[in-house]
Amino acid sequence: MGAGGRMLVDGKKEENRGSVNRVPIEKPPFTLGQIKQAIPPHCFRRSLLRSFSYVVHDLCLASLFYYIATSYFHFLPQPFSYIAWPVYWVLQGCILTGVWVIAHECGHHAFSDYQWVDDTVGLILHSALLVPYFSWKISHRRHHSNTGSMERDEVFVPKPKSKLSCFAKYLNNPPGRVLSLVVTLTLGWPMYLAFNVSGRYYDRLASHYNPYGPIYSDRERLQVYISDAGIFAVIYALYKIAATKGLAWLLCTYGVPLLIVNAFLVLITFLQHTHSALPHYDSSEWDWLRGALSTMDRDYGVLNKVFHNITDTHVAHHLFSTMPHYHAMEATKAIKPILGKYYPFDGTPIYKAMWREAKECLYVEPDVGVGGSKGVFWYRNKF
């Protein structure tokens, strides 16, 4: 997949980038209402029973992996235990990423028809994964409201060349990219939550843990306190578990899988919003529909199902975020004929795409050539 072809960038043929043409920057010849009419009505219906079935399914698998690891791994001969634990970490990390996605769906009110159910389930699941549920729900809602905006988008906001750090060009080489990817995948998520790293600009420190930070309004502060309380409760429980079972046991059963969850979360989000074919807009050009279409569907193979299709139906998710994930594939198929060239998909294998975007998408600049606009920004890779 994604093996052949070239695309035009700035009127010149560039190296292969997954055969994906630039998303058109002209106002689409369709409306959001017309897109919605193409989707079968049942795709917008949320089923409490069906949504809970995915929670039960994922938690049963996570419990099974935990049971096998803690009950049988110590019986394995020494060389095999070194293989068994990494296998457990990957499998558990993948399943818990699915749990994370379900909690994310709760934040969009896509889990059920009952807001209190969605928030209760989301708070429990996200807190268990050390995510401040309401705090992130608020900022993520703004991301959906401002996708592709250079000024108001909340996460993975690209920088113009003039605002890059002084050492950025020294990381533009294979060892530098490896270092950048390792740091981003391991520390990116907690650094974003704590210090708004890779987030939009605020005039003072923005943190998802600070009720009085610039991210939140007065009426949202109580929700941030509740999110913090959920995190503190889980941290206290983890402390008690570590005191009883030992820190090494806790890291092996919970800590490493959580690192994998965080890495997948950052990778998925990075690849959804980073591609040389995706435009970003300043306030002179941005509108909601074009911004929502400036996101990329990807193919993660079997992990698409494990991650509840947040990977290969992200365009539909940005258009209709209250749609439950189990209808998103059908909806995506329905809207493709309407979107036409406005539907961005890249089937490049994920490990190749990750390296390519880290290499090609370094900063953004406006396209001021023929047919370009000063308010439309595209990724560049040359210093």
Q: What is the DSSP string of 133-162?
A: HHHHHHHHHHHHHSTTBTTT--BSPPPBGG
Range from 4-13, 103-112, 304-313 carrying the lowest mean pLDDT: 4-13
C-alpha separations of 252 from 75, 88, 264, 270 in Å: 16, 9, 18, 27
Summarize the confidence of residues 181-191 as an average pLDDT: 97
Answer yes or no: is 115 within a domain.
Answer: yes
Answer yes or no: is 16 within a domain.
Answer: no
Answer yes or no: is 27 within a domain.
Answer: no
What's this model's pTM, rounded to 2 decimal places? 0.92
Summarize the confidence of residues 144-158 as an average pLDDT: 94
Does 10 score more than 80 pLDDT?
Answer: no
Answer yes or no: is 335 within a domain.
Answer: yes
List, edge to edge, every strand of the sheet that includes 363-367.
280-281, 373-380, 363-367
Does 17 score more than 50 pLDDT?
Answer: no
The total number of structural domains that make up the chain: 1
Answer yes or no: is 281 within a domain.
Answer: yes
| pLDDT, tens digit, 9 for 90 and up, residues 256-310 | 999 999 999 999 999 999 999 999 999 999 999 999 999 999 999 999 999 999 9
Question: How much of the chain, in percent, has pLDDT values that exceed 70?
Answer: 94
| Residues 30, 42 contacting (CB under 8 angstroms) | no
pLDDT at 369: 65
Average pLDDT value for the chain: 93
Query: Which residue range is the domain that position 338 belongs to?
Result: 32-380
| pLDDT, tens digit, 9 for 90 and up, residues 62-92 | 999 999 999 999 999 988 989 999 999 999 9
pLDDT at 371: 59
Answer yes or no: is 24 within a domain.
Answer: no
Answer yes or no: is 18 within a domain.
Answer: no
Containing 367, the helix (H) or strand (E) segment is strand 363-367
pLDDT at 79: 87
| pLDDT range class, residue 4, cuts 50, 70, 90 | very low
| pLDDT range class, residue 15, cuts 50, 70, 90 | very low
pLDDT at 16: 40
